[in-house]
Amino acid sequence: MIRIEPAGAEALLLVLAEQPDAQLAVRIAVLAERIRQQLGPALVDLVPAWTSLLVHYDLLRISHPQLVQQLTPLLEAWLVEAPQFAPTPLLELPIWYAGEDLAAVAAACALSVSEVIGAHSGVEYRVGAIGFAPGFAYLSELDGRLVLPRRSTPRTHVPAGSLAIAERQTAIYPQASPGGWHLLGRCPWRLFDWQAAQPCRLALGERVRFVPIDRLTYLAEGGRL
């Protein structure tokens, strides 16, 4: 059952499911687009996440009860419709697996380094949420053998392009930032560019696979050391 909860004076939280699943992210992306069209300028911001959608609205253009009234039929229709199994695009991201924590992760998981790389690059991921920092895409679901808690002490500086894992998720840090995840490698591509028509390379619900590359390819693709 969907829950609609106030999230402060100017936002409404739609809790769409108790647990995320592979299709939910795609379905939430579809719902987000419908809400965007329905609300027009009354919508300030829309934040899709694993199991929820946060609707930031303009109090001068729509009231809380009006908003609930407009969203209810949309949500009812979305809830009962059959999930669309339209093919979602697959993005292949090159990774130079030479991260600072690669050896430590291998040791903690009782695997060899090449087994870690194989386990990480051997599965397909889905973008479940984008947040934390511009373009930071949470990808799931990590091979069970690689599941580790976050580092006890976060790093104050993680370089841009770092591929990292924590719990059942993996992600690439689009910009240099502090971070508490385990670093496995680096992606040479720029994943968030505010000047591009589509600033974020990854989209909610998109499928992602990591392709191991060597140091020379990493540099040739524009990667920095």
Partner 1 sequence: MSGFEVLQPGPLSLLQDAGRLGWQHLGVSPAGPLDMQAAAWANRLLGNPWGTPLLEVALGGLRLHSRVATWLAVCGAELAVEVDGVPQANWSRFAVRAGQQLQLGYARSGQRAYLAVVGGFHGRAQLGSVATQQRDGLGGLHGDGRALQAGDWLGCAAAHLPGVASVPWAYVPDYQARPLLRVITGGDALSFSEDQLQGFFAQPWHLSPQADRMGARLYGAALTVPAPARQWSQGVSSGAIQVPADGQPIILLADRQTMGGYPLLGWLHPLDLPRLAQCPAHQELRFTAVSLSDAQAELGEFYRFFRG
Q: Which residues bind partner 1 (CB under 8 A)?
A: 5-11, 13, 15, 19-20, 32, 44-54, 56, 59-60, 63-64, 129-136, 138, 175, 177, 192, 194, 199-200, 204
- Least distance between partner 1 and beta carbon 184 (Å): 21
213 close to 94: Cβ distance less than 8 angstroms:
yes
- Least distance between partner 1 and beta carbon 192 (Å): 7
Maximum Cα–Cα distance across the chain:
58
Residue 82 or 197: the one with the smaller Cβ distance to partner 1 is 197
Strand-pair partners of 48: 53
Alpha carbons 53 and 47: distance in angstroms, whole number? 6
Quote the tokens at residue 174. 């689009």
Residue 14 or 95: the one with the smaller Cβ distance to partner 1 is 14
- Least distance between partner 1 and beta carbon 110 (Å): 27
**Percent helix / strand / coil, the chain, rounded to 5:** 25, 30, 40
Quote the tokens at residue 1. 């059952």
Any idea which residue has 């053998």 for tokens? 145
DSSP characters over 55-73: EEE-TTT--HHHHHHHHHH
- Least distance between partner 1 and beta carbon 71 (Å): 15
- Least distance between partner 1 and beta carbon 27 (Å): 15
180 close to 154: Cβ distance less than 8 angstroms:
yes
